[in-house]
Structure formats: C-alpha cells, structure tokens
C-alpha cells in the first residue's frame, strides 16, 4: 500500500453497496471525515451497514447537500451521473470517481490486469486468477466479481498480480485506470437503461485501454466486430483471440487445442474443458492470451484450464430430479447471456425467464427458443414485454415468482429434459441481486 494520508479531507460516498462500504472504510482509515449517503432506508442496507467503521457519518432516504462539502465524492457503480446532487457537485468542481479509481490511488501495483465485456467477465477473471496463483504468484482477484479493491489495499504490493473484473458502470467512473494487461471479451446490448445508447456503452467499455501505452497489452475478441474495431483506437500492443478462425498472430482454437501464434513461433495447449458451451472456449482463449502475455508457462495454463469447473450462478449444475437436470444461470442478467446458455443445450429446455428489464430487445432469442425450448416460465416485471416480443416461439406460463415457476417446471418436465434458470434480466425487482436469486433457486431445487 502506498503511504498516503487523507487527514483533514472530507470524502462523500454515494451508495452503501459492498464497494461503497469498502471505499468509506479505506477513506476513514486514512484519516478522512467520511459521509455515506444512501437513498434506501437503513433497514434495507443492514448487511453492509455492519461492515462500516462506527466513526463514519450516515444519511438514509436520499442525498442531502451535506455531500457538497466533500473534497471528493466516490460514486457507487450503477448510480447515474445525472442525479441532482452529482450535477450540483460537478458545478462546484468536486471530483466524482468510482471505488476502483479511488482504491488504485493507494495501491503500489505495477501488475494490474483488468477484464471487461458484456459476458464472460467473471469466468475469465476467475480463470486468470487461478492461473496466476498456480504459477506461484501472489494474486488478488476483485472488482465486479465481488471483492472491492478498496477492501484489499493492505494486501497488495509491487509483487501482487491484481486481477479485476470491471463493468461498464465501474469503467465510466475510472477515467484514469491504466492496466498492464486489459481485455475486452465481447460487446452486445446491455445496461441500455443506464447508458441510454450503444455508443455510450461502447465508449464506457473502451475506457479500459484509454490510458494504456505501447508497453502494455490489450486482449481483444477477433470474432466480435465491435471489439475488433476498437483495436484502431488502442495504443497498447493488441493480442487477438478467436474461436472461429486461425490467426497468424494471436490465440485461437483448433482441433481441441489452444494455439498461440506469433508468425513462426507457436505454443500449443491441449484442452479438455469441464465447463460447457462455445462461450467457455472463448473465455479460456482470453485467459490464455492474458496469461501468456504475463509470461506464465503453458503447462500451468493447461493444468488450470482442464481442472476448472466453472463459477457459481453461470450454467451451474444443481442436480438431477426424476431424470430432469436443473441448471442455475442467474448470472444471465442480459439477453446475450441467455443466448449463450441456450447454445450450451441441445433441446428439451424449460426456460425460466424474466425479472427487471434492462432495455434490450428479447427477439434475438427467438430462433434458439423455437429449436430448443419446450416452454417459457415467466417471472418478474418484464413478463409482459417478453411475451409480446417472443410471441409464438414457445408456450408461455405466467408464474410471477421463482418458486411458482420452478414448481410448474418440475411438474411439466419429463426425464431427459432440462430446467434452466437463465432470466435475461436483472434481479432487483424481486431479489437483492443475481446471487440471491441463484441461491434461492438452488435451495428450491434441493427441496424438490
């Protein structure tokens, strides 16, 4: 940790999620006077409230102008930048930053790897972290994956591999982030209710390489036209990966092998992945490109890839009941994630779909649903929109809640079928977050 004091400074924190609590605690530990401002009631944030230093000031039910006395305001991911208190703060030239950018000011780390993309971030970040650890390197994994870097500052030094999953929300508040290695896995419509346009969403994602130079590395998906096009804006050394074609220079998949090619120089890694679906081949390719750029031995990469069993809530097998398999894909909070999940199954799927709408169309799922889905069990606020946009693709069952949907699916499914929770929506209409939704699903499956 860099030695730096915030003595005499006033820090405002908007939002008491995990990252907000971590940033507030770090600021207080460094001597700042801290105010945490939250729109929710105290009773709604009790879990995170317990994490806070008792000397931190608090306000609930809205943001007061007390925040305007701050020297810096730390904004939680997802809080829009056009709310009144932030607009007023900007007119007063009060810096507005995110938890990641705040934490990085106090981290003396030259080994930062930052990974973004619409889908695959958590799996790829987890894989990279496991590869670095298997290589014997001191490693901290965090960011959007659930461990705020502000909470890990004391454990990070110059020798630490810091691997961060970074969302578009976090990137738009991290204008100064400068990774040694960055990666953009893919870009498809998501969070449009927040970013408003795809142009804004793409701009947020591209901030990951904004401050990189020729001595840094940026890993990009050659198969994704939007991501491939971003290479022209990037000053870092670009490494492409591809699942669909052989690359003269890059990392690609062919004949059950991951191959890294640099002209006449080739590295071959034999893979037999335990995680299903073509998207996981892409995740493995990205993780391999990152690890090779960080000079990890191919044998270490191969061992980790072939032993990896996936992450919780991402096409997670939950058990078989009366010949019916159950999968928790609660991490599928957007349409493209659900598309990826459906591509991992052949047929006979009972799909639990719905939640809080995020602004993207559901129509791109139509072809896969017609081919693979026996019935759609609708839950949450987006049910009406989903039914209109996917009309005629499969039979709908209006279940409203997850317990009702699972009970109905268990009654409809026959031996050999699959019940898949892959909502294509956010969870906040009925659950604390996607993890809460996934764990509730697993608990319900266990009781069947």
Same domain, 146 and 222: yes
Residue 4 lies in a domain: no
Same domain, 147 and 279: yes
Residue 2 lies in a domain: no
Residue 183 lies in a domain: yes
Q: Is 137 helix (H, G, I), strand (E, B) or coil?
A: coil
Write the CATH number for 55: 3.40.50.720
Token pair for 150: 């502000």
Say what percent of the chain tops pLDDT 70.
98
Which one has a higher pLDDT value, 310 or 410? 410
Look over the chain and give the mean of its residue pLDDT values, rounded to a whole number: 93
Task: State the average pLDDT over residues 319-335.
Answer: 95
Query: Quick one: pLDDT at residue 69?
Result: 96
Q: Which of 286, 307, 328 is the last residue in one of the domains? A: 307
Question: Among 13, 17, 171, 7, which Cα is nearest to 89's?
Answer: 13
Q: Which of 307, 341, 368 is the last residue in one of the domains? A: 307
Query: Quick one: pLDDT at residue 2?
Result: 59
CA–CA separation, 199 and 286 (whole Å)? 24
| pTM score | 0.82
Q: Crossing angle of helices 121-134/278-293, nearest 10°? A: 40
CA–CA separation, 166 and 147 (whole Å)? 11
**Position 68 confidence tier, pLDDT thresholds 50, 70, 90:** very high
Task: State the average pLDDT over residues 281-300.
Answer: 97
Same domain, 138 and 272: yes
> Domains in the chain: how many in total?
3
Rg (CA), the chain: 22
Residue 138 lies in a domain: yes
- pLDDT of 192 > 90? The answer is no
Write the CATH number for 324: 3.90.190.20
Task: State the average pLDDT over residues 300-306.
Answer: 97
- pLDDT of 210 > 90? The answer is yes
Same domain, 116 and 83: no
Token pair for 315: 């096409």
How far, CA to CA in Å, does 426 sit from each of 17, 132, 139, 164, 431?
Answer: 16, 31, 30, 22, 9
- CB-based contacts of 199, cutoff 8 Å, min separation 6: none
Query: Quick one: pLDDT at residue 1?
Result: 52
C-alpha neighbours within 13 Å on the C-beta side of residue 288: 32
- pLDDT of 276 > 90? The answer is no
Q: Write out pLDDT tens, residues 126-176.
A: 999 999 999 999 999 999 887 899 999 998 999 999 999 999 889 988 889
- pLDDT of 190 > 70? The answer is no
Are the C-beta atoms of 273 and 266 separated by less than 8 Å?
Answer: no
Torsion over CA: 168, 169, 170, 173 (sign): positive
CA–CA separation, 204 and 129 (whole Å)? 24
Residue 361 lies in a domain: yes
Residue 1 lies in a domain: no
β-bridge mates for residue 260, sequence order: 251, 267
Query: Quick one: pLDDT at residue 77?
Result: 85
Q: Whole domain around residue 399: which residue ranges?
A: 316-447
- pLDDT of 42 > 90? The answer is no
Token pair for 225: 């036209």
β-bridge mates for residue 306, sequence order: none
Write the CATH number for 248: 3.40.1190.10
Please, what is the Cα angle at 191 between 51 and 285, to 5 degrees? 90
Q: Is 165 helix (H, G, I), strand (E, B) or coil?
A: strand
Same domain, 30 and 141: no
Same domain, 78 and 132: no
Which one has a higher pLDDT value, 50 or 345? 345
CA–CA separation, 192 and 189 (whole Å)? 7
Q: Residue 226: is it exposed, middle or buried by C-beta count within 10 angstroms (0-12/13-18/19+)?
A: middle
- pLDDT of 3 > 60? The answer is no
Which one has a higher pLDDT value, 193 or 138? 138
Query: Quick one: pLDDT at residue 277?
Result: 82
Q: Which of 307, 332, 351 is the last residue in one of the domains? A: 307
Please, what is the Cα angle at 145 between 295 and 211, to 5 degrees? 55
Place of tokens 């994630």: 337
Say what percent of the chain tops pLDDT 90.
80
- pLDDT of 388 > 70? The answer is yes
Same domain, 154 and 289: yes
Same domain, 87 and 112: no
Which one has a higher pLDDT value, 168 or 209? 209
Residue 177 lies in a domain: yes
CA–CA separation, 78 and 74 (whole Å)? 12
Same domain, 326 and 249: no
Are the C-beta atoms of 292 and 419 separated by less than 8 Å?
Answer: no
User: Quick count: other Cβ atoms within 10 Å of Cβ 277?
Assistant: 18
Query: Quick one: pLDDT at residue 410?
Result: 96
Same domain, 325 and 246: no
Active site amino acids: 121, 144, 191
To the nearest 10°, report the CA torsion of 150, 154, 157, 159. -100
Same domain, 402 and 325: yes
DSSP designation for 94: -
Same domain, 266 and 332: no
Residue 31 lies in a domain: yes
């Amino acid at each position: 940790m860099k030695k730096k004091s915030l003595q005499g400074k006033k820090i405002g924190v908007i939002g008491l999620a995990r990252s907000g609590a971590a940033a507030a605690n770090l600021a207080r530990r460094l001597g700042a006077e801290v105010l945490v401002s939250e729109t929710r009631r105290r009773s709604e944030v009790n879990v995170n409230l317990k994490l806070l230093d008792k000397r931190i000031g608090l306000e609930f039910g809205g943001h007061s102008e007390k925040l305007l006395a701050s020297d810096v305001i730390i904004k939680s991911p997802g809080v829009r930048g056009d709310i009144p208190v932030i607009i007023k703060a900007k007119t007063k030239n009060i810096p507005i930053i995110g938890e990641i950018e705040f934490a990085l000011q106090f981290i003396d780390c030259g080994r930062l790897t930052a990974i973004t993309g619409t889908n695959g971030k958590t799996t790829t970040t987890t894989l990279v972290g496991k590869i670095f650890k298997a290589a014997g390197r001191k490693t901290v994994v965090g960011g959007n994956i659930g461990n705020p870097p502000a909470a890990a500052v004391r454990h990070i030094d110059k020798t630490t591999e810091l691997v961060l999953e970074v969302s578009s929300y976090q990137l738009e508040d991290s204008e100064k982030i400068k990774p040694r290695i960055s990666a953009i896995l893919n870009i498809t419509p998501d969070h449009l209710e927040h970013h408003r346009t795809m142009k804004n969403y793409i701009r947020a994602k591209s901030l990951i390489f904004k401050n990189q130079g020729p001595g840094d590395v940026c890993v990009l998906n050659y198969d994704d036209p939007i991501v491939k096009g971003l290479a022209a804006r990037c000053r870092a050394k670009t490494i492409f990966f591809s699942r669909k074609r052989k690359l003269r220079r890059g990392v690609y998949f062919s004949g059950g092998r991951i191959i890294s090619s640099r002209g006449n120089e080739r590295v071959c890694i034999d893979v037999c992945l335990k995680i299903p679906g073509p998207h996981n081949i892409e995740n493995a390719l990205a993780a391999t490109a990152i690890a090779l750029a960080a000079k990890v031995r191919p044998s270490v990469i191969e061992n980790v890839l072939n032993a990896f069993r996936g992450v919780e809530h991402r096409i997670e097998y939950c058990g078989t009941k009366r010949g019916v398999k159950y999968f928790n894909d609660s991490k599928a909070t957007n349409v493209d994630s659900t598309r990826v999940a459906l591509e991992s199954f052949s047929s006979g799927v009972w799909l639990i779909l719905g939640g809080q709408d995020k602004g993207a169309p559901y129509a791109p799922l139509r072809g896969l649903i017609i081919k693979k889905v026996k019935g759609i069990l609708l839950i949450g606020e987006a049910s009406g929109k989903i039914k209109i946009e996917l009309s005629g693709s499969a039979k709908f069952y209006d279940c409203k809640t997850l317990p009702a949907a699972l009970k109905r699916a268990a009654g409809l499914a026959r031996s050999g079928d699959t019940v898949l929770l892959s909502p294509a929506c956010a969870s906040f209409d009925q659950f604390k977050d996607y993890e809460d939704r996934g764990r509730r699903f697993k608990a319900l499956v266990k009781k069947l």
